[in-house]
A and B are shown apart, each in its own frame.
Chain A
C-alpha cells in the first residue's frame, strides 16, 4: 500500500512569513513528486513538480526533495492571504502513471 502523509493542519502563518509544508511517502521507488494547490470548492492546480534530490525554486515557491528520507516539502516565501488554500502532495512511482495523493494541508495566511 503506497502511502502519502501530510499534516492536515490548519497551518496558520502571518502575511509575509515563510510557510513550510511537509509530505512523507512510503514507496521507495517513487520518482516524481508534485504539489497542487486547491482553493475551497475548486479543482487542484499544479504549482510545482520535482524529480531529483535538492531544491527547485519557482518564484516564491521552493520544493525540496530528499529521497533518502522519503520526504518532500514546499516552502512559500512572503506568504500572501491569497495563498490560503489546501496544498496537496502527490507522488508517482517509477513506471506508473497513477499518482497517490496525500489528504492535503490547509494553509491560512492571515493579514
Chain B
C-alpha cells in the first residue's frame, strides 16, 4: 500500500512568514508523530497524536509551532512567524498502534525541507 506522504517536499519562506506542512499517514495507522531533523542530527520529537487526540506536544520548541489532526488521519504542522532557526527537515511518521505495546515501529514520510531566509 501507499506509504506516508508529506507536502510540500521543499518550502522556502521569508523570515516572519507562516508555513503549513502536511502529512498523510498510512491508512489505518492510529499513531502519528512529527519530528524535526537538523543537519547532521537525529530526528527530534515534536508532537504525537493518537487518532485526533494530541497526547504529547512537549517537543514543540515554542508557541509558534502548532499541530493538528482533526479527523484522525491527515495532520498539519503550522509554524507561525518563521525564524531562521526553524530551518530543518520536518519528518512525519505513523505507526499502527495495534495493541498499545511499545513494539510498534514507525514508518517515515519523505520529509519537508524548510528553509527560512
A residues adjacent to B (C-beta < 8 A): 4, 6, 8, 31-32, 34, 36, 42-46, 49, 51, 88, 90, 92-104
Residues of A within 8 A of B108 (CB): 36, 43-45
A98 to B48 Cα, complex, angstroms: 8
**Contact (Cβ within 8 A) A97 B102:** yes
Interface stretch, picked from B38-46, B71-79, B80-88, is B38-46
**Contact (Cβ within 8 A) A92 B110:** no
**Contact (Cβ within 8 A) B45 A98:** yes
Residues of A within 8 A of B44 (CB): 101
> What are 13 pairs between A and B in contact, CB < 8 Å?
A36-B108, A44-B43, A49-B105, A51-B103, A88-B42, A93-B102, A96-B102, A97-B97, A98-B45, A98-B48, A102-B42, A103-B42, A104-B42
Contacts A43-B109, A44-B91 given: A97-B45 contact, CB under 8 Å? no
A101 to B48 Cα, complex, angstroms: 15
**Contact (Cβ within 8 A) A43 B102:** no
**Contact (Cβ within 8 A) B91 A8:** no
**Contact (Cβ within 8 A) A32 B45:** no
**Contact (Cβ within 8 A) A46 B102:** no
Residues of A within 8 A of B110 (CB): 42-43
- Does residue B56 face the partner (Cβ distance < 8 Å to A)? yes
Q: How far is the CB of B37 from chain A (nearest CB, A)?
A: 9
Interface centre among A42, A98, A102 (most CB of B within 10 A): A98
**Contact (Cβ within 8 A) A103 B104:** no
**Contact (Cβ within 8 A) A34 B105:** yes
Q: How far is the CB of A17 from chain B (nearest CB, A)?
A: 25
Q: How far is the CB of A90 from chain B (nearest CB, A)?
A: 8
Contacts A97-B97, A98-B56 given: A103-B41 contact, CB under 8 Å? yes
**Contact (Cβ within 8 A) A95 B43:** no
